[in-house]
Chains A and B, each alone.
Chain A
């Protein structure tokens, strides 16, 4: 089985069929996208706090630039970072090795998924350079803005005029990305059901494998109508159908329904994999079994079903029936219950545990704290239509979703990287730099996002490029809050360079990982060498124990690897 040869750069990064290599390809591509999205955030935050200033590395920000920057920041971070990192990267690295098999069920399909993902990234980047500039319609792509001036009653435009626009390219990029993730999702699903190690029943799978698969199924279920909807918007722009163009009897609200029927389950799609990652890390570092494995699983399934019934809470001001708004409010508030239950189960796992404050544990606890206390809690407020109508489209909403997504997506990804880095690279990350990175990120993330709550309550609308035209938004202390938010955001972005340096340096020169199982964890990936050979295991494991059996009374050590006899 172990016929691993040293391959050249091209072979390893473009044509490899190994799930770990493909995961690494995804990760590098996503790092590229994040740096673009982060740079955009830096430019428009600087512009908001210091209008008229020539932003270093960019120049003067016009209103059109501002629209383009916020649109593409949102799209890149939601579609490519969050979905890509937590479905494609986490799924590729973790699923085959954690269920004790050599590779995906369809390695070639896996490679093709990555290539389509790469194509979508290229199309997205190409959209910035279209003759009329990047897309500036808001990341939700609402018509009529996103249909642009291609409507029926505008002068005739040739096909090239319609096709070579940011609108077309962004929609194509999104369509290709969805295709890639759907193909990857089929692969993960089949791999999980079909290729588990001997003895690994469904209820002996690690929680993160469950979570990625539930997220994938939820993604498959919710994205279908939006795939059709994206296709329809492309046709509206390029062929002249009338789905969304009101002049031709179209209905702009239709897009909002399609978008949010995907968009709201999507936030749970990107919440579930980090919750799984946190389950692994918290259980290992508390030296205790995960509290309520089946309980967490049941709650997750309930939440997945409920998540498809809450989408219209994004549309409370879009003219939907107030009776419908009440129903959606109630469902939105109910859906916080399963997640509260999951978080309580994690806290119960910590309770009276033998806690180890390792780096991944710090990220995990930070994620739990911020997500619960500020992200989830303000979600309850925004879920109620009475408050949402007041706060709609203000910075309060921006602060809310940064407090929900940043702790889960970013903290969750970092927790995973600090946890599994040594397994997949065979080298250790530098701990001092890691600690510095964690504390800077933790402090300055709060410094950036918390003032936005206050600004939002004061009435700051999120899609206005220059607040000086509104006197009430320039009263003290609002400009000060804006400056605090901006300076924190800049430090937050700069501190990610510490991580980048640590990552690249440790990959090449880091201390060699001598142990196979440095965290003394139970799951199967720790029972093979670091880095795992091509094919993952020298001898295929046979599973006898559950994934979280720490401190079994009948064993003399405090952990029991799943394949121990």
Chain B
């Protein structure tokens, strides 16, 4: 195993440094949402009942899909280190397929929940005097929706970076940067999944 060299600030590739800074910023944004959610969750026990209406199976499958996609991105990074264009293409496409699977399962869940009346203005919940409970769904849709937007953004970033790198044969470090972002999308889901689906 090669010895890991400690890099000085100036030796860190710019793209890597920038994406880590971006990730720090994103974590504060999602961190804010998650802290707000946890504080509310501790305050209102009835949110646990609402959480039982989520589809745990779909959530679990989605977690596996995202974790698998992270493996694919790591393989793509390995291929980028060896400058192997065909392998980069293969692994990034597999990642993007995973992103589509994730979004597909998520839309199935949304459809199911909306059909059961857990909509955003939550009219029937408020009419029954369950205003606090309807707010669980506000958080649910905002957090998962914002995460979904990040999945789309991450998949687009991977796609464009892959196209650029395989066309020009330059800038292989960009695969690593886009991959880092993809891992962040994955990790945010690891936080959201237990908080939203598992704690009843």
Contact = CB atoms under 8 A, between A and B. Distances in A.
A189 interface: yes
A243 B138 contact: yes
A106 B135 CA distance: 41
B60 interface: no
Interface stretch (B7-15, B83-91, B178-186): B7-15
A232 B17 CA distance: 30
Contact of B131 (A226, A229, A240, A248): A248
A194 B29 contact: no
B33 A228 contact: yes
Interface string A233-251: 0010001111100011110
Contact of A152 (B22, B121, B146): B121
Contacts of A185: 21, 25
A182 B135 CA distance: 29
B155 to A, nearest CB: 20
Main secondary structure of the interface of B (DSSP, over half): helix
A224 B133 contact: no
A248 B125 CA distance: 9
Contact of A224 (B17, B31, B134, B135): B31
A239 B139 CA distance: 13
Given A105-B18, A228-B32, A258-B32, A194 B135 contact: no
B122 A242 contact: yes
Interface string B5-41: 0000110101001100110111111111101100000
A226 B27 CA distance: 13
A136 B14 CA distance: 44
Contacts, number: 111
A258 B28 CA distance: 12
A190 B20 CA distance: 10
Considering residues B18, B36, B138, which has the most beta carbons from chain A within 10 angstroms of its beta carbon? B138
A196 interface: yes
A33 to B, nearest CB: 25
Interface string A476-496: 000000000000000000000
24 contacts: A106-B14, A152-B126, A186-B18, A186-B21, A186-B22, A187-B18, A190-B18, A193-B17, A224-B25, A224-B30, A225-B31, A228-B36, A229-B32, A232-B138, A235-B120, A235-B142, A241-B121, A242-B121, A243-B135, A248-B138, A249-B133, A250-B131, A250-B135, A258-B32
Interface of A: 105-106, 152, 182, 185-187, 189-190, 193-196, 202, 220-221, 223-229, 231-232, 235, 239-243, 247-250, 254, 258
Given A194-B12, A235-B120, 5 more contacts: A105-B14, A224-B27, A228-B29, A247-B131, A249-B131
